[in-house]
Structure 1
Amino acid sequence: MRILVFGATGSQQFHVIAESKKKGADVIAATSTDKNFEKLQQAGAEPVLGDISNAAQMVEITKGIDAIAFMIPVSLPNPFDGLQFSKNVIDAANQNGVKKIVWNTSGWLEDQKTGMPTDDVKLDVKDYLIASGLEYVIIEPTIYMENMMGGFCAPFVTNEKKLAYPTPQAMPIGWLASRDVSALMVEAIYNPNLTADSFRVSGLENLKGDELADRFSKGVGEKITYYTQPPAEFRDILSPFVGQAAAAAVASYYQGLQNATHYPSKFNPNMQEILEKLPVEMTSLEAWASENKGFFIN
């Protein structure tokens, strides 16, 4: 099995390499710059230059590929480019006889367009993938545990013993480890019975803010309290990394949550049914915090 991975230099897709290697796959990792070659090689992948905006290049690197672990690049300057970039990959896969695409959508897809470009374009990509005739599996993850490693959260843990996140204390979330998502994707690639399927996935615990802080505290062995971060503070910390416009848009979403009386679901209570098809041992928040203690606690 030859698996081509997109986004493997980022936290969301990096573990696809190791999970694929466990199955004995040959892993090819696409990257837009050779600066990432060493990291990918050390992880066990064969790096290839592949600019997702270049249709001809996508045709070239998908030759001889059996399956693709796909993800739209995060924080595109123009989110609507995500559709054409996805078409480049899907069309190349069709041209070269790739058997299956497994797509990590980086969040639960909306039921209909909402006016948010980053969300709306994914619905167009979904329609195009379904119409392509390729076998596919769509993995829709909830919020990543790795988000807590961001500059808007981790320094608060280290310096103030606060777990900062811009979601309300009362809002429950099924936090999910990126390694688990990667494992689910690889299981989807190898399951021949999954050819036109979509799964909304979450962690197995639906944790409110104080419960999140409790599990995190047990993992790192120190008392950490939950801090509902003001969206404006979150925006100011995030802006240098993604730009003011993108940070403002995300902060606006979190402001809406903090003003809400009903919260969107970020937990799938039927995960055990999914795990029967995609057998993965899921990571608890406490175990994840323990594993990453050194990142947060000096």
Structure 2
Amino acid sequence: MIHGATGAQGAPVVAALAAMGKPVTAVTRNPDAVVNGADVLAAGYDSVDELTRAYRSAEGVFVHLPVVSEADRQTYARNILSAVREARPGRVVFSTSGAPVDPTDGGAAAVLVRGLADSGVSHAVIEPTLYLENLLMPYVLDAVRKRGALPYPIRGDFPVSWASHLDIADVALALFDRPEVTGVVSVGQYPALTGPELAEAFGAHFGTNVVFEPITPEQFRTSVLPLIGEGPAADVAAAYEAMSALPDRSIAPENSAQKLLGATPRTVGEWLTGIGL
């Protein structure tokens, strides 16, 4: 059972499972959705009953929380946990979608991580840092192509273990097949890349000089507002503002996918080539 199968995070998981001949069901709000390689089951995060029916007898569930208000995310996390406890699927793989896992905080991702740990159901948590796909937003990619600049709301000296949705799909498949691996699995490049190193990788791929351009979280909020809406855009800006106080967003090698699963994430160049840019 794959949540978000018509979106950026779930679609690569469906495609990878289908390519292996695995039976896949896309869990979506739209009963008329067409998902290549998968059956479709209509179920929403806002209904415990629908989720329970979806999870019952499932060998595995891939789940992540959508970019909506924190209040809705809290509700969705509690509903997912209620359904998992009732339906007892064989395995749950939860991607935090870049939210840091801090078991002591009250965020929706932390609520879901703690609840899965207490559920008695086999599970693992995928913890990426920042997605390379964020760099495909028109505000960013157009600047790379037109101005030779890569604008992003982090400091130039801020190392990030970037990962792609394709890397997350690789790790999700491995975790479905490796039930002995539990807890948090960090996904991303190591060593982490600074902004100038990221820009250099873009330049090498496109055959031109690209410089890194740090921008403010407010500038980023304005750029993503038309894409995701006012509330989520404000939440994203707040997350980057909080991130600015950290020394880095690097994964820890001891709980990395590289060490636990032997899964090496794509380089920036490999990723850009793989998506056809």
In the superposition, the TM-score normalised over structure 2's length comes to 0.89
Conserved 8 A contact 2:151-2:213: yes
| Structure 1: distance between partners of 2:158 and 2:248 | 9
RMSD: 2.3
The Cα shift of 1:193 comes to: 1.4
List structure 1 segments (4+ residues) > 4 angstroms apart after TM superposition: 255-258
What amino acid is the match of 1:128? G
The Cα shift of 1:125 comes to: 1.7
- Mapping of residues 66-145 of structure 1, within 5 Å: 66-74=59-67, 76-77=68-69, 79-107=70-98, 108-113=100-105, 120-145=107-132
Q: How many residues align?
A: 276
**Matched residues, percent identical?**
22
Could you say what secondary structure the match of 1:174 adopts? coil
Q: Describe the superposition over 1:107-166 as per-residue Cα deviations: whole angstroms up to 9, x where unpaired.
A: 2213532xxxxx712222222211111111011111010010123312212322211111
Match of 1:286 among 266, 269, 275: 269
- Structure 1 equivalent of residue 143 of structure 2: 156
The Cα shift of 1:190 comes to: 0.8
- Structure 2 equivalent of residue 116 of structure 1: none
2:193 matched to 1:200?
no
- Structure 2 equivalent of residue 187 of structure 1: 174
The Cα shift of 1:10 comes to: 1.9
- Structure 2 equivalent of residue 6 of structure 1: 3
- Mapping of residues 232-247 of structure 1, within 5 Å: 232-247=218-233
The 3 A distance-change label for structure 1 pair 122 and 221 is same
- Mapping of residues 33-44 of structure 1, within 5 Å: 33-34=30-31, 37-38=33-34, 40-41=35-36, 44=37
- Structure 2 equivalent of residue 27 of structure 1: 24
The Cα shift of 1:13 comes to: 2.3
- Structure 2 equivalent of residue 216 of structure 1: 202
What amino acid is the match of 1:219? H
2:51 matched to 1:54?
no
In the superposition, the TM-score normalised over structure 1's length comes to 0.83
2:56 matched to 1:63?
yes
Structure 2 runs not aligned, ≥5 long: none
The 3 A distance-change label for structure 1 pair 66 and 147 is same
The 3 A distance-change label for structure 1 pair 129 and 256 is closer
The 3 A distance-change label for structure 1 pair 110 and 265 is farther
| Structure 2: distance between partners of 1:273 and 1:143 | 15
| Structure 2: distance between partners of 1:59 and 1:111 | 25
Could you say what secondary structure the match of 2:273 adopts? helix
Could you say what secondary structure the match of 1:91 adopts? helix
Could you say what secondary structure the match of 1:217 adopts? helix
| Structure 1: distance between partners of 2:12 and 2:148 | 29
